[in-house]
Chain A
Amino acid sequence: MAMAALRREGRRFAPLLSPRPIAAAAPRSSPSFLSPEEDVPFGARSISTQVVRNRMKSVKNIQKITKAMKMVAASKLRAIQIRAENSRGLWQPFIALLGDTPSIDVKKNVIVTVSSDKGLCGGINSTSVRLSKGLLKLNSGPDKEPKYVVVGEKAKVQLIRDSRKHIHLTISELTKIPLNYTQVSVLADDIIKNVEFDALKIVFNKFHSVVSFIPTVSTVLSPEVVEREVESGSGKLGELDSYEIEGGSTRGETLQNLAEFQFSCVMFNAVLENACSEMGARMSAMDSSSRNAGEVLDRLTLTYNRTRQAAITTELTEIISGASALEG
């Protein structure tokens, strides 16, 4: 079991922790003690602990770096969590008015995948991509053509590998400046202008708590589809007829404005929640990484001590046997 763990850690350990008892070997230095990287001058006696020491130093550095990354992610999370929770109120009225119909059957689906630009954040981007691919498969058929709009580098890299022809638009470096509504509304505007859609499905990771992020899909329907659903009179949208439209515009125009506004609100919330999830996932990933590094360091320290003590024992044995040879 230990060997399996060591194998996972890295093959370089194997020669150092070989089952051969070190003290039983000949007092003269034998090259088999030293790891292959070590070069010993002829006649030298000491077993070098340099390799182990180097490795310990690098593992200690890794531990420090990942601990620092965890702290940074924790502080960023605190700031953005408040904003994300406050932004949830943005799309709730739309659901109250229009209902949520994720399973609606339309011709032109556009899947907007929200992901992070930076890595080292656990598995959240992979789950988003898996969900998007699942949605694509679900929605492809004879005259349905689903498309991707990818936000964030990580999802782009994964999706470009096998679904390149489906990707319509990619956006990256969204979080270079702190997220605000203006930026997201410009983005939403761009998407609406450049992509024809009947339904927009926004895939992101919803932030439930510091350790739990749920991949979620939010659906925004185009005004034509809403009109169609209102006419069919089924579900929540069927009741839209009972709402009076204030102001001079027709219902069609109001629905158009409503759809655009809804999309930008939902996008804003999605981007914020995904950023929150990214920070939380990074926190837990860096935490387990530094804990792992600590364990590796403990094991290396044991090896180091054992090697050091073996060298001392060898020296002592030589001296003592030399002295007793002189006497007797």
Chain B
Amino acid sequence: MVDMVIVPATRGQLGVLPGHVATIAELKPGIMSVHDGNGVTKYFVSSGFAFVHANSFADLIAVEAVPLDRIDACLVWKGLPEFTQKLKSASTDLEKAEVQIGVDVHSALNSP
């Protein structure tokens, strides 16, 4: 039983509290945080889906989810300008998509 969950949906952060209306949300890479009485646990999710059921149960399916304390902060710091550079030099659509994903992931990781 937790108090609140914040998930990174495609349109932005979605906060889910008990009694939330039933929802299917597609996720983009970002930070998911679970708030319960004692504190907040943050995870990085790569992408996936979040289902909120009418009985106040929420399911989160992600391709990869890592607790935030396992992520190396300086690598993230270095990665973001690197990927932003690559974005400028990417030529094919596929490359652009890959690099854009890198930029999104790193900027999401950089935010907290």
Contacts and interface: CB of A to CB of B under 8 A. Distances in A.
B73 interface: no
B53 A247 contact: no
Interface in B48-106: 48-51, 53-54, 57, 59-61, 63
Interface in A228-250: 242-249
B23 interface: yes
A132 to B, nearest CB: 28
Interface in B3-43: 9-11, 14, 21-26
A77 B48 CA distance: 29
A212 interface: no
- Of the candidates A96, A185, A243, A265, the one having the most CB atoms from chain B within 10 angstroms of its own CB is A243
A258 B59 CA distance: 13
- Of the candidates B14, B21, B54, B61, the one having the most CB atoms from chain A within 10 angstroms of its own CB is B61
- Of the candidates A181, A247, A258, the one having the most CB atoms from chain B within 10 angstroms of its own CB is A247
Contact of A242 (B9, B14, B22, B61): B22
Interface residues of A, number: 21
B53 A257 contact: no
Contact of A97 (B10, B11, B14, B53): B53
Nearest to A257: B26
B22 A244 contact: yes
Given A242-B54, A247-B11, A265 B24 contact: no
A265 B10 CA distance: 21
B11 A93 contact: no
A90 interface: yes
Nearest to B58: A93
A261 interface: yes
B49 A247 contact: no
A254 interface: yes
A244 B21 contact: yes
- Of the candidates B11, B14, B26, B53, the one having the most CB atoms from chain A within 10 angstroms of its own CB is B26
B26 A254 contact: yes
A271 to B, nearest CB: 16
A93 B61 contact: yes
Contacts of A93: 49, 51, 59-61
A246 B24 contact: yes
A93 B53 CA distance: 10
A246 B25 contact: yes
Contacts of B21: 244
B9 A97 contact: no
Contact of A243 (B14, B22, B63): B22
A88 to B, nearest CB: 12
B52 to A, nearest CB: 8
B62 to A, nearest CB: 10
Nearest to B21: A244
A246 B23 contact: yes
A249 B23 contact: no
Contacts of B57: 96
B24 A97 contact: yes
B53 A261 contact: no
Nearest to B54: A242
21 contacts: A92-B59, A93-B49, A93-B59, A93-B61, A97-B24, A97-B51, A242-B22, A242-B54, A243-B23, A244-B21, A244-B22, A246-B9, A246-B11, A246-B14, A246-B23, A246-B24, A246-B25, A246-B26, A254-B26, A261-B49, A261-B61
Given A181-B63, A243-B23, A247-B11, 14 more contacts: A97-B51, A185-B63, A242-B22, A243-B24, A244-B23, A246-B11, A246-B50, A247-B25, A247-B26, A248-B10, A249-B10, A257-B26, A257-B49, A258-B49
